[in-house]
Amino acid sequence: MSVTGLSGGGSSSGRRIGLLVKQVLAPVVLAAAWGCGHELPPAPPVPHDTTAPLVRIVYPPPDSGTLYDRDANGLMDLEVTWSDSGSRVDPASVRVTCAPDCLPGVAPDTNLAVGWRVVRRDTASLVLEETVALLLRDGPRTLSVTVRDTAGNVSAPAQASLALPPGAYHRSISLAGRPDCQPERGVNFAFSPDGRKGFAPYHFCVAVFDPDGVQPTHFIPAVPHVGWASQISVDTATGLAYIAGGGTPTTGFTVLDMRTEQVVADKLTSSDIASVVVDGDRIFAGESCTDGRIIVFDRRTLAEAGRIEVGAVSSTGACPNAESFAFSSDHGAGWVTIVEAGVVRFDPVGMRVLEYYDLEPGWPGYFGDSRQVELLRDHLLYIARIGRGLDLYEVAPWQLLASRSPSCCIVTLAVSPDRQSVVANQNWTGNPRNGDVPASTPQLYDVGADLTLRYAFPPRVGRITDAVRFHPDGKRFYVMAELQVDVYLVRSR
């Protein structure tokens, strides 16, 4: 076999093969030569990424004004997108801050992206929703958003300015589920002191619901002295609830432990009870269809301590029940509304009437003129009146400070946990024969020497609404609406 082609001689095809072998072997020979005490030449440097990503706020628009809630649940929605020409953007690096002073008790540089709910997240965008725990203050606010790429470059802030209202409708909780104990609408309810449970009395049962849920968690059956409009009063120190009265007067009251959900006492009374409330070491029960008589019990023993003879007389012939109570901060003075018969100031310790105040009559034919009373700062008395609106009185000397008389009836009141705000639930039942439908408009007032309306919530149509209660967190209030509870948000200033 001839090998002359490999040495460069011979035919042209042999020379081509020899050239190919040299081209293949040359790098190998060179590498072997450099391996003898030499290193390979360094690779050319890779340019460092110094370009910051771009971030944009899609919603709310940069100058959104009143646009902030895309899904109509009262919480602010935020959608941001980003792009980067070099390294990838790290979605976990998104920072959302708000100014000025958007969160009470929270540092201004707090990253809201950590606490808000993630609706959607991918490599190029992020959608967040505000949470109740991190609910922004009302008024003009500016959001700022930045992102960082994997090379460490931080984007310039993208900003959006918006105006947040003092409050909004949030959602509804359905309490339906037990037809055997819910033949009538619900009227009253209360929260456990820790705010984790809600309790709504119906016919001899109590619906228990999660304030953050959408339906009852369960029902407590066979609860004595519970009617469709029973009142429920909570002793926040013990977690005990006192339930009695309502549309069908009861022959006593029930003590329910909100922690264990067990009936711990069933107190029979010598007469029918229309209302019950606990204050300090006393329990006060308003008799049904009398002259407004109040029966007083010792809270610890449940023994009857005495009676307060009111002697009220109704100008319309209705039974003047002792309906709603309020007490001074030192438990030394009490106030009670007497159905269609005015307001009474009484001594809860000495168990005697101190003063009787007649009120201008409400609508003819309506059961009750004064529905609920609240005493704030020991001298401001708020009275929710059916057909008359909301009255504010100075208690010493007794004088009317302000009155609001809308075209429908104020039903009930609630006081915020910080005692700085009052919600009056304005409820209109109308006349179904005229095609009227129920509607309610909760109204938020600042506590003071006048009725300063801070915000009127948009009307909700379709159900009769009754009791309104603030959640212990102060950021929400709840309105009983027959077999459901409507939830509203309240933003701090």
Each residue's pLDDT tens digit in the chain (493 positions)? Answer: 444 443 444 455 545 544 444 444 444 444 444 445 556 677 666 567 889 999 999 999 877 678 999 999 999 999 999 999 877 898 889 999 999 999 988 888 999 999 999 999 998 999 999 999 999 999 999 999 999 998 999 999 999 999 999 999 999 999 999 999 998 889 999 999 999 999 999 988 999 999 999 999 999 999 998 888 899 999 999 999 999 987 677 889 999 999 999 999 999 998 889 899 999 999 999 998 888 899 999 999 999 999 999 887 776 667 788 889 999 999 999 999 887 778 899 999 999 999 988 776 555 544 446 778 999 999 999 998 877 789 999 999 999 999 887 766 777 899 999 999 999 998 876 665 666 677 888 999 999 999 999 999 998 888 888 999 999 999 999 999 999 999 999 999 9
Token pair of 101 as six digits: 């002073």
Which of 335, 339, 343 lies closest to 378, judged by CA? 335
Q: What's the chain's length in residues?
A: 493
CB atoms within 10 A of CB 364: 7
Same domain, 118 and 222: no
Last residue of a domain, one of 150, 165, 180: 165
Q: Are residues 358 and 211 in the same domain?
A: yes
CA distance readout (Å), 378 to 158, 310, 331: 49, 22, 10
Q: Is residue 215 part of a domain?
A: yes
Give SS3 for 375.
strand
Q: How many whole angstroms separate alpha carbon 467 and alpha carbon 199?
A: 12
Residues ≥6 apart with Cβ < 8 Å to 123: 88, 89, 91
User: What is the domain-level CATH number for residue 191?
Assistant: 2.130.10.10
How do beta strands 380-385 and 389-395 pair? antiparallel
What pLDDT score was predicted for residue 365? 47
Q: Is residue 456 part of a domain?
A: yes
Clarify whether residues 110 and 215 are in a common domain: no
The answer to the question of residue 46 being in a domain is no
**What is the model's pLDDT at position 184?**
87
pLDDT the model gives residue 315: 66
Note the pLDDT of residue 483.
94
* Residue that terminates a domain, selected from 165, 197, 231: 165
Task: Judge contact between 385 and 406, C-beta under 8 A.
Answer: no
The verdict on 112 and 154 lying in the same domain is yes
Task: Note whether 119 and 268 are same-domain residues.
Answer: no
Domain count, the chain: 2
CATH number for the domain spanning 78: value is 2.60.40.10
Does the residue 42 lie in any domain? no
Residues with Cβ within 8 Å of 389's Cβ and at least 6 positions away in sequence, in order, are 403, 404, 405, 406, 409, 410
**pLDDT value of position 47:** 64
237 contacts 263 by C-beta, under 8 angstroms: no
**147 with 215, same domain?**
no
Residues 151 and 182 in one domain: no
Residues in Cβ contact with 25 at an 8 Å cutoff, skipping those fewer than 6 apart: none
CA distances from 153 to 47, 51, 85, 148, 149 (A): 14, 7, 11, 5, 5
Range of the domain at 126: 54-165
What token pair was written down for 154?
């931080």
Q: Are 230 and 201 in contact (CB under 8 A)?
A: yes
The helix or strand, by DSSP H or E, that contains position 284, with its residue range, turns out to be strand 282-287
For 294-386, list the strands marked E by DSSP.
294-298, 304-308, 322-327, 334-338, 343-347, 352-357, 370-376, 380-385
113/211 same-domain check: no
Q: Are residues 202 and 69 in the same domain?
A: no
| Residue 38, in any domain of the structure | no
Residue 175's identity, in one-letter code, is: L
Which two tokens mark 391?
Answer: 């009255």
3-class state of residue 426 by DSSP: strand
Q: What whole-number distance in Å separates Cα of residue 151 and Cα of residue 164? A: 36
Q: How far is residue 373's CA from residue 488's CA, in Å, rounded to a whole number?
A: 22
The closest of 258, 222, 244 to 302, measured between CA atoms, is 244
Clarify whether residues 90 and 213 are in a common domain: no
412 and 302 share a domain? yes
What is the rounded distance in angstroms from the CA atom of residue 199 to the CA atom of residue 208? 5
Amino acid at 106: V
Domain C-terminal end among 165, 198, 220: 165
Residue 172 identity? S
Is 47 part of any domain? Answer: no
Name the percent of the chain in helix, strand, coil, to the closest 5. 10, 45, 45
- Same domain? 287 vs 408: yes
Q: Is the peptide bond before 179 cis (omega within 30 degrees of 0)?
A: no
Residues contacting 431, CB < 8 A, separation 6+:
none
Q: Alpha-carbon distance 425 to 488, whole Å?
A: 12
For residue 144, how many other CB atoms are within 10 A of its CB? 16
User: In whole angstroms, what is the distance from residue 391 CA to residue 404 CA?
Assistant: 6
293, 310 contact by CB (below 8 A): yes
Record the tokens describing residue 91, joined without a space: 């979605």
Token pair of 310, please?
């009111």
